Structure 1
Amino acid sequence: MKLYFKKIVLTSATSFIYLIVLLSSNISYSQDLSLKEAHQLMLQKNGDLKASHYEVNASKEEMKATKGLFYPKISISGTYMNLDKDISVDLNHTRDLAGGLLEISNPAETLGNWDITLQDKNFGFAFSSINWPIFAGGKIKAAYEAAEIKFELSQNHHQIKENSLTVNLINYYYSLKLAKEAENLRKKVYETVKIHYHHAEKLYENGIIPEVETLNAKVALSNAKRELLAAQKDVSLAKSAIKNLVGGSTFSSTSTSFIEPTILASLNEFQQQMLQGNEQLHFLEQNKKLAKVGVKVEKSDYYPKVALMGSHKLWKDNMPLIETNWAVGAGVTWDLFDGFQRDHKIKAAKYKVSQVKMLEKQAQLNLNTYTEKLYNEMAKQQEQYLSLNNDEKLAERLKFMRVRAFEEGTGTSLEVIDATLKQTQIILHKLNALYHYNIAYGELMVSLGKTETFLNQI
């Protein structure tokens, strides 16, 4: 770990705290980075995982919101209005007719003004109300069950994304390991060929070997340099890929070594573990539960909906027609016929359940094949690695003999270069076998839900 310091003048305890925070924020992996450390950085800083985590949190809050369906809704409402004029009824004509029937000479004076104001143009009122659905045919409970399953699905989706990125990280990490090992090997080859070239020049100057041997060595040196530069570019690209995946954290080298190829369990055991721990199967299982809840929701429409309700007058102004202070009651709604919509919706929901079941069945077959593929890849790379171990010893012995023969004047530079390149190719094939074994093994363990086991093992 390396600390990067900035010049700051401390004038108070607050400034000192600021310095500590600043130093902590500038700590980076500028030295060795293990695969486990890279995985932790990815979990903490990768933007895709952070976004997925927010999706989980949102789903959790939506589940909590759905729980509110079990409780009554209480609200307050109020209104104050100003009309262009009072609401009134002019009954003076009726008064005059009544006066005539009663033989009253002056009905207006005797009976008074019958122009009655029913509602003043300025009025207002406020009420509190309560509404509580107490039975909906199971729809409320089903809605909460669906919200719980959707929350679990969001967690499952997050884990699938995390697993996918973890597989990528293992691939990138060991790609960098392979590229770095190849770079070191190319550097050794370059130095070896360079020494051989200088040696060949001296032998040529002394008349021991012809010029063609020197030219062969010079061509080999040029090829070795070109391959070294290409290997260095591969290292740079692999480091950039890891840096992007772990949220921009910097590092100089990797510290986790390749795992030696070995098969720890049988194919059947791995396949059984895959069917128990794979997140894709869990995802389909949750979707099957959600589809079954959908059937419950559609069946609930066959039952009546019952709700309690009530209201209480809090305030009124110029409202003579409203004298009631409170009211309570119950409401029932029951759709007896809806054109057979419910029947078809239930059938559609059941088809969705059947659909998910078929997807789940096929997924199990696909996972068995996928497990077998990874297992066979591991076994193949193990065989390659063991075979290449023996070949490497033979190539090393051959190179030693070719170099001695050349130095004694009984061999050619082409033979030395050919022996060097053969040894290099065998080592590269060996590294390639290690690389393919490790990424296959890592992918298998992640798919089994055993990421921590794999990271702790290495």
Structure 2
Amino acid sequence: MYFKKITILFLLIFASIGYAQTLSLKEALKIGLENYGSIRAKNNYTNASKETLKQSRRDYLPNLNLSAQQDYGTVNGQNGPLYGFGGLGVASSGLPLPEQNWNSAFGALYLVNMNWDFFTFGKTQEKINLSKIDVQAKEKDLQQEKFQQEIKISAAYLNLLASQRLLISQQKNLDRAEVFKKTAVARVKNGLLAGVDSTLATAEVSKAKIALNLARNFVKEQNNKLVDLMGVAPQDFVTDTLFVTQIPQELVTI
């Protein structure tokens, strides 16, 4: 019973720690293209230019306005009709008087206005063509930005993968140096080797530890670069080792 409780407790602790999910290169590219700031900004610029193109096409259509107005008040002392620029605003006062007045009155106004510039002498079409060119330029700029970002993410991912493999190699090198040190110390104690040999073995262990710490720092640096390029929260990635553990099928069939 006691052993069962210990086992359950161990499994709960083990499950709470968990494993980091392996990040493939394809997933890294997908996340990076979706989250990176400059790509999102240029994607918005492209969508805005497409909406501008739609607006340029709609500008050629007739502009029809319907309005109804019920008022009570003054017209700021204005005598006579008031015509708005473009024919969209019309206001009228009461009877003309010999002097300005501010008498309030009821009034109603119903307006139907249609404006259509039928002859634009190519201005509308050129505006549409200019909007099309702007859309094409924005789309090409977006594709170029995506391509450059894919190159940067791929390079950072492969660098991280190489640094993690180098870290494993340095750890194995430290293990080898520690085994060699134990052997050398034991042989020195038994008088089979000179004392300087154990000193050299200790120095090799210290050297291996320094190299291991440098490898860890390099892994962290490459991981941070990938985090920055992907536009995600800081985290430690586990890269896919398929590139270094399996020969590509195309090379096998050649």
**TM-score, normalised via structure 1 length:** 0.40
How far residue 44 of structure 1 moved from its aligned partner, in angstroms, is 3.0
Structure 2 counterpart SS, 1:129 = strand
Distance 1:31 1:118 in 2: 82
**Deviation sequence 1:258-291 (CA, Å, 0-9, x none):** 599xxxxxxxxxxxxxxxxxxxxxxxxxxxxxxx
Equivalent residue, structure 2, for 1:145: 129
Of 162, 165, 168, 2:149 maps to: 165
Of 244, 256, 268, 2:228 maps to: 244
Structure 2 counterpart SS, 1:71 = coil
Distance 1:53 1:86 in 2: 53
Of 249, 257, 270, 2:243 maps to: 257
In 2 relative to 1, CA 42–84 (structure 1 residues): closer, same or farther, beyond 3 Å? closer
Tell which deviates more after alignment, 217-226 or 76-85.
Answer: 76-85
Given that residues 179 and 231 in structure 1 are in contact (C-alpha distance below 8 angstroms), is that contact kept between their aligned partners in structure 2? yes
In 2 relative to 1, CA 156–258 (structure 1 residues): closer, same or farther, beyond 3 Å? farther
How far residue 254 of structure 1 moved from its aligned partner, in angstroms, is 0.7
Equivalent residue, structure 2, for 1:74: 64
How far residue 237 of structure 1 moved from its aligned partner, in angstroms, is 2.1
Which structure 2 residue ranges, 5 or more long, are not aligned?
1-18, 81-93, 98-102, 247-254
Given that residues 74 and 131 in structure 1 are in contact (C-alpha distance below 8 angstroms), is that contact kept between their aligned partners in structure 2? yes
**Taking every aligned residue pair, what percent have the same amino acid on both sides?**
22
Structure 2 counterpart SS, 1:119 = coil
Distance 2:220 2:169 in 1: 16
Distance 1:230 1:181 in 2: 13
Distance 1:153 1:83 in 2: 51
**Deviation sequence 1:189-216 (CA, Å, 0-9, x none):** 1111111111111221122221222211
**TM-score, normalised via structure 2 length:** 0.70
Given that residues 167 and 216 in structure 2 are in contact (C-alpha distance below 8 angstroms), is that contact kept between their aligned partners in structure 1? yes
How far residue 33 of structure 1 moved from its aligned partner, in angstroms, is 1.1
Distance 1:168 1:180 in 2: 18
Given that residues 186 and 224 in structure 1 are in contact (C-alpha distance below 8 angstroms), is that contact kept between their aligned partners in structure 2? yes
> Which amino acid is 2:176 matched to?
T
**Deviation sequence 1:134-180 (CA, Å, 0-9, x none):** 22222211111111121122222221221121111011101101111
Structure 2 counterpart SS, 1:53 = helix
Larger radius of gyration: 1
1:49 corresponds to 2:39: yes
How far residue 49 of structure 1 moved from its aligned partner, in angstroms, is 2.6
1:60 corresponds to 2:50: yes
> Which amino acid is 1:187 matched to?
Q
Distance 1:229 1:252 in 2: 18
1:206 corresponds to 2:183: no
1:119 corresponds to 2:96: yes
Distance 1:162 1:188 in 2: 39
How far residue 46 of structure 1 moved from its aligned partner, in angstroms, is 3.0
Of 12, 16, 25, 1:35 maps to: 25
Equivalent residue, structure 2, for 1:440: none
Equivalent residue, structure 1, for 2:250: none
How far residue 47 of structure 1 moved from its aligned partner, in angstroms, is 3.5
Equivalent residue, structure 2, for 1:302: none
Distance 1:175 1:225 in 2: 22
In 2 relative to 1, CA 69–258 (structure 1 residues): closer, same or farther, beyond 3 Å? farther
Given that residues 194 and 221 in structure 1 are in contact (C-alpha distance below 8 angstroms), is that contact kept between their aligned partners in structure 2? yes
Equivalent residue, structure 2, for 1:321: none
1:195 corresponds to 2:179: yes
Given that residues 32 and 251 in structure 1 are in contact (C-alpha distance below 8 angstroms), is that contact kept between their aligned partners in structure 2? no
Distance 1:214 1:259 in 2: 37
Distance 1:84 1:139 in 2: 41
Distance 2:52 2:238 in 1: 44
In 2 relative to 1, CA 259–167 (structure 1 residues): closer, same or farther, beyond 3 Å? farther
In 2 relative to 1, CA 188–82 (structure 1 residues): closer, same or farther, beyond 3 Å? closer
How far residue 71 of structure 1 moved from its aligned partner, in angstroms, is 0.8
> Which amino acid is 1:174 matched to?
L
Aligned pairs for 1:159-308 (under 5 A) are 159-248=143-232, 250=235, 252-255=237-240, 256-257=242-243
In 2 relative to 1, CA 131–217 (structure 1 residues): closer, same or farther, beyond 3 Å? same
Distance 1:253 1:240 in 2: 13
Equivalent residue, structure 1, for 2:89: none
Aligned pairs for 1:102-113 (under 5 A) are none
CA RMSD across the alignment = 3.2
Distance 1:131 1:226 in 2: 80
Q: Which has the higher helix share?
A: 1
How far residue 251 of structure 1 moved from its aligned partner, in angstroms, is 5.6
Structure 1 counterpart SS, 2:118 = strand
